[in-house]
Chains A and B, each alone.
Chain A
């Protein structure tokens, strides 16, 4: 397997597959040991839905894409407010930004 040297280390896909197979074998081994304190018919069998109430019908158990990473976007809400204000969907903003970057780069080039 060909190794790639990056100057400060190397990457070889063969070694990686070897280690991944080793890790997989260990995982399967540990998993096969089972869990002794698991008891059928107690609260250990109940669902946990990230703190949300668990619906009665399992068909309704859904986590829609729109609320994925809700906390992440909430934490960065000021950054996202700016970003959405920036993406106006307005054609003339597109052209103006392109022309602006061209002009800025032209001025920089003339100064060098």
Chain B
């Protein structure tokens, strides 16, 4: 048995083991759960990193659940895959690695952070389910399985958003998120039904090879596109997002950013790999661009007037998602002509995917610093904070790093990916780049607001007892800060070895199909 062949299955099996065993372990002592949460999250990250390495060396990995061999997608005599296939290409592996890194950092942070609250074993169980759902969405190659993992992640996140059940706002946020998200997930199920009825398969690569854009296909496309855009938090379907992110425990908010990006991954797969035919590419591409522009501008203008630190950051999550939608939309519009694809399309997709991992890191770090402030100062209202940099210098400097990254100040990583998006969207239309720049300026303005009102200024007498947070929380934040530093200082190697292969894997529809269906289609 060669272990590296089983990496895709292990990536899902480890968080599931955590989810199943946490309530049992929690019967003994809370300490065992406090050990289990970071250790299994770290192992999951190690598996994801090994998978990323294996994919970048050996190309797309297939894993057929329950088959004789891991790569046996088409047993003899079959023209269509029958089992559940995990298809891990460069994009999936990149998203899984970034998501599991954030999960690891948040697990470290959660151990002291959740010590003030009861039910830690349930928290750990839901947390692992959320991680399993997120990673499952990113590695699966089966449409119905995608729906199942989407629902696993959703149900776990409903529970986690409403985890502080003695807070009325948390229950309200959880209730709203549950209703909206369930309706959207049902649309994904309907879309899977339409595609199954039309083509008789559920494997995404097999569906992509048979898509004929009849009425049923188009309805399925619209349902998938709209519901996944809603799950990713695109304006005007974004209103659950500030509620949910703002009211969840901070370590969960930071992870929910990555979970939304798993939906974003599904949206990109739908737009490129499933339905990326020239006939609908302009519609999908311009649809992504319009959603992206709306998200960027409305998100940032709503953020700048918020008074709660986490709600402000949640609106920024919407705004930053807009950049990714814009970049990938520009790439999809450009994919109609090979010359434009070569000159700026791939750069746009690469910039968007680079922004995806950058955003997972710095928005995760921002939410964790907000949690640290909440933990130490005991408030989340910006008006009641001030001068915290004197008491919490480490948290303040980590916040400054992440704020510089999200505002796109050079040389931090946010600038690099935004530069790629600006340059490539300028080639399509200068208006797109202009909106992007205005958004970036307003982003900087709103983070200057947080920094000056929370961390700078004279020390407040009521906050004089505030101390720096415990070491595991700082370790979780430092892990993400290290990732930001790495992405900032080595943009060339990251882009060349991790991001651009992912962009090419996303753009190359034929390769995605051929990995499952074989070359002879």
Query: Which residue, A6, A59, A83, has most C-beta atoms of chain B within 10 A?
Result: A6
For chain B residues 471-502, which have a beta carbon within 8 Å of chain A? 488-493, 495-496
Taken together as a complex, chains A and B put the C-alpha atoms of A108 and B344 apart, in Å, by 27
- Which residues of B sit under 8 angstroms from A12, Cβ to Cβ? 492
Given A68-B449, A94-B180, A109-B283: A79 touches B383 (CB 8 Å cut-off) = no
Whether A13 and B411, one on each chain, are in contact in the complex, defined by CB atoms closer than 8 angstroms, is yes
A45 CB → nearest B CB, Å: 18
Whether B492 and A4, one on each chain, are in contact in the complex, defined by CB atoms closer than 8 angstroms, is yes
- Confirm or deny: A40 has a beta carbon within 8 angstroms of a beta carbon on chain B: no
Whether B239 and A97, one on each chain, are in contact in the complex, defined by CB atoms closer than 8 angstroms, is yes
0/1 interface trace, chain A 71-86, chain B, CB 8 Å (1 if under): 0110010011001001
Whether B423 and A4, one on each chain, are in contact in the complex, defined by CB atoms closer than 8 angstroms, is no
- Which residues of A sit under 8 angstroms from B280, Cβ to Cβ? 109, 112
Whether A109 and B221, one on each chain, are in contact in the complex, defined by CB atoms closer than 8 angstroms, is yes
- Confirm or deny: A20 has a beta carbon within 8 angstroms of a beta carbon on chain B: yes
Whether B305 and A73, one on each chain, are in contact in the complex, defined by CB atoms closer than 8 angstroms, is yes
0/1 interface trace, chain B 431-468, chain A, CB 8 Å (1 if under): 00000000000000100011011100110010000000
- Confirm or deny: B175 has a beta carbon within 8 angstroms of a beta carbon on chain A: yes
Interface 9-residue window, one of B43-51, B92-100, B223-231, B250-258: B223-231
Taken together as a complex, chains A and B put the C-alpha atoms of A101 and B234 apart, in Å, by 11
Query: Which residue, A1, A69, A99, A105, has most C-beta atoms of chain B within 10 A?
Result: A105
Given A20-B411, A63-B452, A65-B449: A102 touches B227 (CB 8 Å cut-off) = yes
A61 CB → nearest B CB, Å: 6
A2 CB → nearest B CB, Å: 2
Whether B453 and A65, one on each chain, are in contact in the complex, defined by CB atoms closer than 8 angstroms, is yes
Whether B423 and A8, one on each chain, are in contact in the complex, defined by CB atoms closer than 8 angstroms, is yes
Whether B225 and A105, one on each chain, are in contact in the complex, defined by CB atoms closer than 8 angstroms, is yes
- Which residues of A sit under 8 angstroms from B424, Cβ to Cβ? 6-7
- Confirm or deny: B237 has a beta carbon within 8 angstroms of a beta carbon on chain A: yes
> For chain B, what secondary structure do more than half of its interface residues adopt (helix, strand, loop), or is it mixed?
helix
A59 CB → nearest B CB, Å: 6
Taken together as a complex, chains A and B put the C-alpha atoms of A64 and B383 apart, in Å, by 5
Taken together as a complex, chains A and B put the C-alpha atoms of A92 and B1 apart, in Å, by 53
- Confirm or deny: B129 has a beta carbon within 8 angstroms of a beta carbon on chain A: no
A26 CB → nearest B CB, Å: 18
- Which residues of B sit under 8 angstroms from A99, Cβ to Cβ? 183
0/1 interface trace, chain A 7-47, chain B, CB 8 Å (1 if under): 11101110011001000000000000000000000000000
- Confirm or deny: A106 has a beta carbon within 8 angstroms of a beta carbon on chain B: yes
Interface 9-residue window, one of B11-19, B136-144, B296-304, B369-377: B296-304
- Confirm or deny: B347 has a beta carbon within 8 angstroms of a beta carbon on chain A: yes
Taken together as a complex, chains A and B put the C-alpha atoms of A98 and B415 apart, in Å, by 32
For chain B residues 2-58, which have a beta carbon within 8 Å of chain A? none
Taken together as a complex, chains A and B put the C-alpha atoms of A6 and B424 apart, in Å, by 8
Given A9-B423, A95-B183: A68 touches B492 (CB 8 Å cut-off) = no
Taken together as a complex, chains A and B put the C-alpha atoms of A67 and B305 apart, in Å, by 9
Taken together as a complex, chains A and B put the C-alpha atoms of A64 and B457 apart, in Å, by 10
Partner of A102, one of B187, B415, B458: B187
Whether B304 and A91, one on each chain, are in contact in the complex, defined by CB atoms closer than 8 angstroms, is no
Whether B218 and A101, one on each chain, are in contact in the complex, defined by CB atoms closer than 8 angstroms, is no
Whether B419 and A11, one on each chain, are in contact in the complex, defined by CB atoms closer than 8 angstroms, is yes
Partner of A98, one of B237, B488, B493: B237
- Confirm or deny: A50 has a beta carbon within 8 angstroms of a beta carbon on chain B: no
- Confirm or deny: B114 has a beta carbon within 8 angstroms of a beta carbon on chain A: no
Whether B237 and A4, one on each chain, are in contact in the complex, defined by CB atoms closer than 8 angstroms, is no
Q: Which residue of chain A has the shortest Cβ distance to B492 in the bound complex?
A: A2
B442 CB → nearest A CB, Å: 9
- Which residues of B sit under 8 angstroms from A64, Cβ to Cβ? 382-383, 453
Whether A98 and B221, one on each chain, are in contact in the complex, defined by CB atoms closer than 8 angstroms, is no
- Confirm or deny: A58 has a beta carbon within 8 angstroms of a beta carbon on chain B: yes
For chain B residues 136-189, which have a beta carbon within 8 Å of chain A? 175-176, 179-180, 183-184, 187
A101 CB → nearest B CB, Å: 5
Q: Which residue of chain B has the shortest Cβ distance to A2 in the bound complex?
A: B492
For chain B residues 359-386, which have a beta carbon within 8 Å of chain A? 382-383, 385-386
- Which residues of A sit under 8 angstroms from B453, Cβ to Cβ? 63-65, 68
Partner of A2, one of B227, B305, B496: B496
Whether B458 and A97, one on each chain, are in contact in the complex, defined by CB atoms closer than 8 angstroms, is no
Whether A69 and B445, one on each chain, are in contact in the complex, defined by CB atoms closer than 8 angstroms, is yes
Q: Which residue of chain A has the shortest Cβ distance to B283 in the bound complex?
A: A112
A1 CB → nearest B CB, Å: 7
- Confirm or deny: B410 has a beta carbon within 8 angstroms of a beta carbon on chain A: yes
For chain B residues 232-270, which have a beta carbon within 8 Å of chain A? 236-237, 239-240, 243
Taken together as a complex, chains A and B put the C-alpha atoms of A108 and B229 apart, in Å, by 16
Given A62-B386, A109-B218: A102 touches B223 (CB 8 Å cut-off) = yes
Whether A91 and B427, one on each chain, are in contact in the complex, defined by CB atoms closer than 8 angstroms, is no
Query: Which residue, A97, A102, A106, has most C-beta atoms of chain B within 10 A?
Result: A102
| A residues neighboring B (CB under 8 Å) | 1-4, 6-9, 11-13, 16-17, 20, 58-59, 61-66, 68-69, 72-73, 76, 79-80, 83, 86-87, 89, 91, 93-95, 97-99, 101-102, 105-106, 108-110, 112
- Other than the given A69-B445, A106-B222, A106-B223, 17 more pairs (CB < 8 A) read A3-B492, A4-B419, A4-B420, A4-B492, A7-B347, A59-B461, A65-B383, A65-B385, A69-B305, A79-B301, A83-B298, A86-B236, A97-B239, A98-B183, A105-B287, A112-B280, A112-B282
> What would 25 A/B residue contacts be, using CB atoms closer than 8 Å?
A4-B491, A6-B347, A11-B419, A11-B491, A13-B490, A13-B491, A17-B411, A58-B458, A65-B382, A65-B383, A65-B449, A68-B452, A83-B298, A83-B302, A87-B302, A94-B179, A97-B239, A98-B226, A101-B226, A101-B230, A102-B187, A105-B225, A106-B222, A110-B218, A112-B279
